[in-house]
Every structure is written in C-alpha cells, then in structure tokens.
Structure 1
Amino acid sequence: MKYILVTGGVISGIGKGIIASSIGTILKSCGLRVTAIKIDPYINIDAGTFSPYEHGEVFVLNDGGEVDLDLGNYERFLDINLYKDNNITTGKIYQHVINKERHGDYLGKTVQVVPHITDAVQEWVMNQAKVPVDDDRKEPQICVIELGGTIGDIEGMPFVEAFRQFQFKAKRENFCNIHVSLVPQPNATGEQKTKPTQNSVRALRGLGLSPDLIVCRSAKPIEMAVKEKISMFCHVEPEQVSTLLIVKYVGQRLRADLIVYERLLKVCSIALVGKYTKLSDCYASVFKALEHSALAINHKLDLMYIDSTELERSTEVENSVKYHQAWHKLCKADGILVPGGFGIRGTEGKLQAISWARTKKKPFLGVCLGMQLAVVEFARNCLNWKDANSTEFDPDTKNPVVIDMPEHNPGDMGGTMRLGKRRTVFKTQNSILRKLYGDETFVEERHRHRYEVNPELTHSFEEKGLKFVGHDTEGNRMEIIELENHPYFVGVQFHPEFSSRPMKPSPPYLGLLLAATGTLNAYLQRGCKLSPRDYPVQLFRSPEKEFFIY
C-alpha cells in the first residue's frame, strides 16, 4: 500500500480537496486502484449536525455516513463509493480511544495523545485504506489522504505527529507528502510573494514532515524566479514546485497529446430556490449533478440561486426590490429546482415557486423537502385543504400531509434520520422517472430525512393526478411523485445528487435538464440514449486511453 498525504498551508480553503481528487483520478486513469480518506480536525463526531454555512453541504454515503463534502469530490472524481470511516474526525478518534480505555484495553496505563491518539490515527488509516471501494472488491493500491485545516493549527497537531511517525512505518518509497500553499500577488506591487509558502513549509518541516511536491495556488502562473526561490528556501528541486502539477503529470505519464476543443454551447437556465443561497457549497452536490446533466446534453448550465425568503411578499422597500428581482429570475428560468433543507424559514417562498412551476408548466424537480412541499402545495391549491402542512412546521395542522417518521427521535441530534442507500420500487411502468432510470423495476439511492408523506392521504392526491409512482420495499413510504399532464413535474424523497457522476449523470436531474431544453420526449423515444452530437468534449487522447472533460 502506498500513501499520498495532502496538507495545506497559509489559509484554509486553498484547494486541497481538488488537488487530492485530481491526483487520485490521474492515478486511477493509469490503471491503479485508488481510495481516499479525509481527516477533519474538529471534535464533532461527523458533519451531520453542521449548519450548511459552517462547512457547506452534508454529504451522505451509501452506508448512511454524514460526512464532509470533500468526500463527494472523491466519489465523483474517482467514481467509487466510500464509507463513513473514510472520514476521520478528532471526535471519532477520541471516542474510539476513550471507549478502549473504558474497556480496559490499555491495562491501566496513562492514556495520552502520544502514543495512544497518534497510534489510533495510524491504525485507522491503515485499516481503512485496505477496504475495497470498487465492484471487483480488490484491495486499493494507493490511498490519498487529505489533512483538513492548515499546518500550524493546534487542533491538527496530533494528526501531523501521527503522520510524522507513519512515514517511517510505511517507508519512504510508500509515502509521499504534497503540500498545497498560497503565493499571493498584492495589487500594490504586482509581485508574487513567496514568504507565506516559505513559512508554511518551515512549519511543516519543523513538525517532522518534508514535502515531496509543493503545489502553489496563485492568481497567475508563478514565474521561474519565484519557483526557484521557493525551491531554494523550501529544500526541494524546482521541478517539485508547480502550479500545473496535474496537466504536467498527465502529459508525462501517459505521453498524451493535449487536444482542446471549443464548442458553442447552448445555455440552459435553472432556478435553484433554497434558503442557503449565500454560500454555493451548501448545494455543492446539487450543482455538480446539474452540471453533469447539462454537459451530457451539450449545454452550458446557467444556475440562478434564489433565496426563497425573497419570493415572499414584503412591505419593506428593500425587500420589495429583492422580491421583484427574485421573481424575475424565477420567471425567466427554463427549469425550477427546490432542494432539501430543514426548518420553516423560507418555506412559503418555496411553495410559491412550486405553484408557479405547476401552473405555468415549467419543468420542476423537488428533492427531499422539495418533494414534501410539492405535496403540501398540491393539497392546498388542488385539493382545497387550505391548512395542509408538514408537522415539522405545524404540529397541529388538521391536514398533516407530511408527518414525522415513527423512528425519528428528536431527543438526539446525531444520526437520527433515515440515512444512506435505500431501495425504491416503481409501482407502475407508466413513469417518466422509471424510463430515465433505464426501465428498472427499482432503484437504490441515498436518503437523509426525518419526515415523509402521510401514506394515509395519498389516494386523494392520485385521484387529482398527482401520482406516487415509487414506494419503499414495504409500500408504506412515498418515494417518487409525478404530476400528470405536465412536461416534467417530479419529486423524489431521496437525494439523487449524491450518486451523480460526470459520466453517469443522475436520472432525475438529467430529466429536468432535458425537459428544460425541450428534448425530453425525443430522448425517451430514442430509448433514453443521447444523440451523437451530445457526446462530451474530448480532452486527452493516447494510444491506450481516452479522457473527457467534465
């Protein structure tokens, strides 16, 4: 087993996740079996209780793990399925060590950060790196490990010490450290500054790790003199300092001729109506799923984020301006998406957007809460149940069309939802989504929710044309809705964006883009096959392999 440790310096958000994902993808393209581990130095056990504004979206794995969004990058880039133990947190490590201490595993010894915490980190990494992530169930050959945070942060020190020890345990030929750093270029001088990178590498080396490669992030390609300066002060060769590591490596390793094609792409605009629109990372997987689908049909995605609260009428002048701007975006969109979420804030605005999509026959996709609100909107405006609501927002509603699940335990904040991969069975062949999924009798997608459509009321909806075409295996939980006599009005209780891949776009999202571009019927008539002109743009070609840009 070989290990690549990706560390970061100077500032957070420097791009370690993208570098780690890209390196893993290149290595996999070379025929190697690759896995990935993300280390987050926070004390939380997992990402499940975070506000989206803290760390972006909570990514859900097949096994129900609620993890950092970077694992979504790994799954999409590497086209693999990871597990909750591929995300290591300080909380998990300390919980593991404390449980062992309570069980008497340390035989009365004083339990300390060194060696017990650091040993636990190394054991976790070695054990998880061996877990197969591909269908052939073979053990990976390379493990790419991203150490979250910034070198020098006090909370990351135990992990840095663990890898200082680990490099000798793994042996030099099996361990590589890539350090990602910032080279700022102040406007006042226009000069690229190397001092932050020097200090970052000095701090890393002072902790016992010496980088084999330094990836410099900068507004412009770094100059040769800057590269040589970093080389001299950071104890590496100039060729070990790069801003174009990925492209260089592909060209050298695969002897590939770089071919770039430019195409004029038609634009498809999608309005994403949510409550966390000020930070795009809150909907990272949704954006990727839409992007995968747009590229699959050779369109450029124009994603318009709309704060759902701004669709609600207000008497304040400032909010009135925002109200009209938000509605202008919604009205000009080719399709409308209402994603998942929690809490009552902004729900009335989402209901307004759903009503607009239904009555104006705009292509619509509702995910999780988006599906639940589509049911609420239909109940209020088509069944005339004016007080219809979810018990999440109104526990005393006379028409509880969405209810909390029996196993939901509100007394605990962690892992109480219905999580992970679950099976959805199609109950009819006359379903758009079933056709988009390849006419399968069932699908398996990832879930993350506490509330569900009330199964006792579904017959009233179906009589009016809102069909529940997908159920769970017991037939009790409503998983998919489709509206009759509408170009595309679909809701799913699961989160299909988590399983979308660049070469395998998520069917519900692909359906939305096809409907928004007016090509859904033609796609269905072709047996859900893309026409030749819709194939992706070729980027690399070599005698053995082909690579495509996504």
Structure 2
Amino acid sequence: MPQVIALVGDRNDAVTAHRAIPRALVLAAQACGVELEARWLPTDGIRDDRDLAGYDGFWCVPASPYRSEAGALRAIGHARAQHRPFLGTCGGFQHAVVEYARSVLGWADADHAETSPDAARAVIVPLACSLVEVAEPVIFSPDTRIAAAYGVERIEEGYHCRYGLGPVFREVAFGDGALRIGAVDSQDDIRAIEMRDHPFFVATLFQPERAALRGEVPPLVCAFVRAVADGATAGREAA
C-alpha cells in the first residue's frame, strides 16, 4: 500500500514549484525504494481534521497567499501536533512560523505581513532584498536534520519569495525550546527551521524541489519521504 502525502496548497501549473514538487516526490520515492502517492489538498477544502485524515505526511507548498489561510494553518498544526512528517517550502515555511507563533508561543495576534500589512505582531515581514528567482548560499546548522539530509555544510539553493522571518519571532522562538534554526544565509538570516521532538518537521524559505526539474533528487525531499515511510511502518507495527 503506498504512503499518501498531502500537497497542501492551491495547485497552479504556472507556478514552477507546483510543477517541480510532484516530480521531486517521484524521484525521491524511486531513490528510497518507497511506494508513494501525492494528492493535492486545496486549502479551501480543509475545514476540520476529518479533511486531514488518511495522509501519512504533509507538504505545505509555495504560492501564497492561499485561498484559505485558515485551512493551511490547520494542516500545519495537525502535522505538528499529531507528529506526522511535515515539509514546508517558501509559503509553507512562512505559514509554519505563523502557526507556531499562534499555537505554541500563544501569540494570537501573530500574522503574515502579506495578508495583514498593518499587523501589530508580524512574524513574517517583507524581505529587505527580494529573493524572486535568485539563488543564494545556504549554511546548515550543525547536528540538525536538514544538515544530515544534505550531508554538506553549505549549498546554493533557489528562491521565489518576498517575505521572510520577522525579528520579533527570532528573538523569542529559538533557544532551548522545540524549534531550532536549521539553516541561515551568508548574512545570518534564517532560511530553514525544524522541530527537535518531532519525527520530521522541517520548513525552508528556499525551494529545494526545483532540483527535480534538472533531473536531480532533492536531498531534503528524500529525507522527508524516508520519514513518511518510517512513520507508516511504525504505525502498522503498533496497530
């Protein structure tokens, strides 16, 4: 029986990442020897946890604002709380930050500046320099899951985004808590986060899936697929 991954987002084949992600999962599944099925899960189709049942993993994909921010946040929160493997890229990174700020830090007013430009507590803010269709170095934090996936200290990855992590979040969210910094850029701006006590919860501002369009297996996607497979196996053994 194949493992089923929900692609949380509003599919648009004009979006480069939306074309790349299914290909990335196929390449990763082949490389890992895993039988996999990916299903698009529109954000406006997520109304309660029943809409999230039956998925072994969740990938919150780029191209926000989503049709339903509430739907995207519900899927992210479900993956976090239920210990389902989660990958968020670009918009998925941004909304993982918003969900964590609201649900874990207890900041009910935490928001995204793209949809709430006048928010009193914006945890996602406009980047000082837009990262639309550019590639930049990414430096991995030692002893993190993302560093283990890539197996190198630094790499160059591509972006398509105008928003990133706000200083109000960085000042409070990291340290000895559940969240840690997975990667930074050459200016020490955070480009990836992950959770410590979770089977796999990683979010990146960059888009590793784009490697699939060059015929390459994205290392982080392969690590995500392995986590999904391991979680499904553990669930069957516990049943």
TM-score after normalising by structure 2: 0.89
Q: Deviations along 1:398-424, whole A, 9 cap, x unmatched? A: 21100011235xxxxxxxx43221111
Spell out the pairing of 1:32-431 with structure 2 (5 A cutoff).
267-276=2-11, 283-312=18-47, 324=50, 327=51, 330-408=52-130, 417-426=131-140, 428-431=141-144
Aligned CA RMSD, in angstroms, stands at 2.4
Q: Is the 8 A contact 2:17 2:62 kept in 1?
A: no
* C-alpha displacement of 1:301: 2.1
Q: Is the 8 A contact 1:275 1:346 kept in 2?
A: no
The reply on whether 1:462 has 2:174 as its aligned counterpart is yes
Q: Deviations along 1:140-163, whole A, 9 cap, x unmatched? A: xxxxxxxxxxxxxxxxxxxxxxxx
One of 437, 443, 461 as aligned partner of 2:155 = 443
- In the alignment, the residues of structure 1 paired with residue 88 and residue 120 of structure 2 have an alpha-carbon distance, to the nearest angstrom, of 24
Q: Is the 8 A contact 1:368 1:493 kept in 2?
A: yes
Could you say which residue in structure 2 is the equivalent of 1:179? none
The reply on whether 1:433 has 2:146 as its aligned counterpart is yes
* C-alpha displacement of 1:456: 4.2
State the secondary structure of the residue aligned to 1:396: coil
Q: Is the 8 A contact 1:293 1:506 kept in 2?
A: yes
Q: Is the 8 A contact 1:268 1:334 kept in 2?
A: yes
**AA aligned opposite 1:335:** G
- In the alignment, the residues of structure 1 paired with residue 205 and residue 16 of structure 2 have an alpha-carbon distance, to the nearest angstrom, of 21
State the secondary structure of the residue aligned to 2:222: helix
Could you say which residue in structure 1 is the equivalent of 2:193? 481
User: Bigger relative contact order, structure 1 or 2, given CA contacts below 8 A and separation 6+?
Assistant: 2
- In the alignment, the residues of structure 1 paired with residue 213 and residue 13 of structure 2 have an alpha-carbon distance, to the nearest angstrom, of 25
Query: How much identity, in percent, do the aligned residues show?
Result: 27
State the secondary structure of the residue aligned to 2:93: helix
Higher-Rg structure is 1
One of 443, 453, 471 as aligned partner of 2:165 = 453
- In the alignment, the residues of structure 1 paired with residue 228 and residue 186 of structure 2 have an alpha-carbon distance, to the nearest angstrom, of 31
- In the alignment, the residues of structure 1 paired with residue 123 and residue 15 of structure 2 have an alpha-carbon distance, to the nearest angstrom, of 31
Q: Deviations along 1:155-184, whole A, 9 cap, x unmatched? A: xxxxxxxxxxxxxxxxxxxxxxxxxxxxxx
Could you tell me which runs of 5 or more consecutive residues in structure 1 were left unpaired when the two chains were aligned. Answer: 1-265, 314-322, 409-416, 520-550
Q: Deviations along 1:95-152, whole A, 9 cap, x unmatched? A: xxxxxxxxxxxxxxxxxxxxxxxxxxxxxxxxxxxxxxxxxxxxxxxxxxxxxxxxxx
Q: Is the 8 A contact 1:277 1:307 kept in 2?
A: no
More strand by share: 2
* C-alpha displacement of 1:267: 1.6
- In the alignment, the residues of structure 1 paired with residue 161 and residue 214 of structure 2 have an alpha-carbon distance, to the nearest angstrom, of 26
* C-alpha displacement of 1:434: 0.6
* Structure-2 change in CA distance of 1:303 and 1:279 (3 Å): farther
Could you tell me which runs of 5 or more consecutive residues in structure 2 were left unpaired when the two chains were aligned. Answer: 232-239
* Structure-2 change in CA distance of 1:452 and 1:278 (3 Å): closer
Q: Is the 8 A contact 2:13 2:19 kept in 1?
A: no
Could you say which residue in structure 2 is the equivalent of 1:505? 217
* Structure-2 change in CA distance of 1:341 and 1:503 (3 Å): closer
State the secondary structure of the residue aligned to 1:436: helix
* Structure-2 change in CA distance of 1:362 and 1:447 (3 Å): same
* Structure-2 change in CA distance of 1:384 and 1:517 (3 Å): same
**AA aligned opposite 2:26:** E
* Structure-2 change in CA distance of 1:297 and 1:370 (3 Å): same
Aligned length: 231
Q: Is the 8 A contact 2:9 2:66 kept in 1?
A: no
**AA aligned opposite 1:381:** S
* C-alpha displacement of 1:503: 6.7
**AA aligned opposite 1:472:** D
State the secondary structure of the residue aligned to 1:474: coil
State the secondary structure of the residue aligned to 1:481: strand
- In the alignment, the residues of structure 1 paired with residue 180 and residue 90 of structure 2 have an alpha-carbon distance, to the nearest angstrom, of 16
* C-alpha displacement of 1:275: 1.5
- In the alignment, the residues of structure 1 paired with residue 183 and residue 17 of structure 2 have an alpha-carbon distance, to the nearest angstrom, of 27
* Structure-2 change in CA distance of 1:278 and 1:347 (3 Å): farther
- In the alignment, the residues of structure 2 paired with residue 434 and residue 344 of structure 1 have an alpha-carbon distance, to the nearest angstrom, of 29
* C-alpha displacement of 1:278: 9.1
Q: Is the 8 A contact 1:488 1:512 kept in 2?
A: yes
